[in-house]
Structure 1
């Protein structure tokens, strides 16, 4: 059952959204409805089975508390691709 919803949005945002929807061959209502569905859908965690090799390695390395994974990854990628 469809129900009407009134939204108050910036005029420029509405115009851009209408153009976007038109370019995609969809209505603005359809885009907003699907966005809200994705936003509110229940997330179920996907349980991934570990391979025997990964299971055997699990717990074999303990990183120090100060270890910054993102910083180390960025450093490694810079070293690999930037060749400074």
Structure 2
């Protein structure tokens, strides 16, 4: 059963989304429904989605990699 849903979204985002939907041969409703299915499935079972599973382990980091330091450094470069 389908149900109507009203959303408030920035006009520019809607325009880009409609263009994307048109270019991919889908409706905006279909895109949003698929997105909602994806995010709720991930949170229900607590497991990684198949898309995320494909990229896990692709990048090898050094043992001394400091995630907080790298994030701080990247933010400094971006904002300073």
Give the TM-score normalised by structure 2: 0.55
CA drift at 1:8: 0.3
Structure 1 runs (4+) deviating above 2 angstroms are: 42-46, 67-71
Q: Who is 1:26 aligned against?
A: 26
- RMSD of the TM alignment (CA)? 2.2
Q: Who is 1:10 aligned against?
A: 10
**Which protein has the bigger helix share?**
2
Q: Who is 1:64 aligned against?
A: none
CA drift at 1:70: 6.6
Report Cα offsets for 1:20-46 as digits up to 9, x if no partner: 000000000000000000000033648
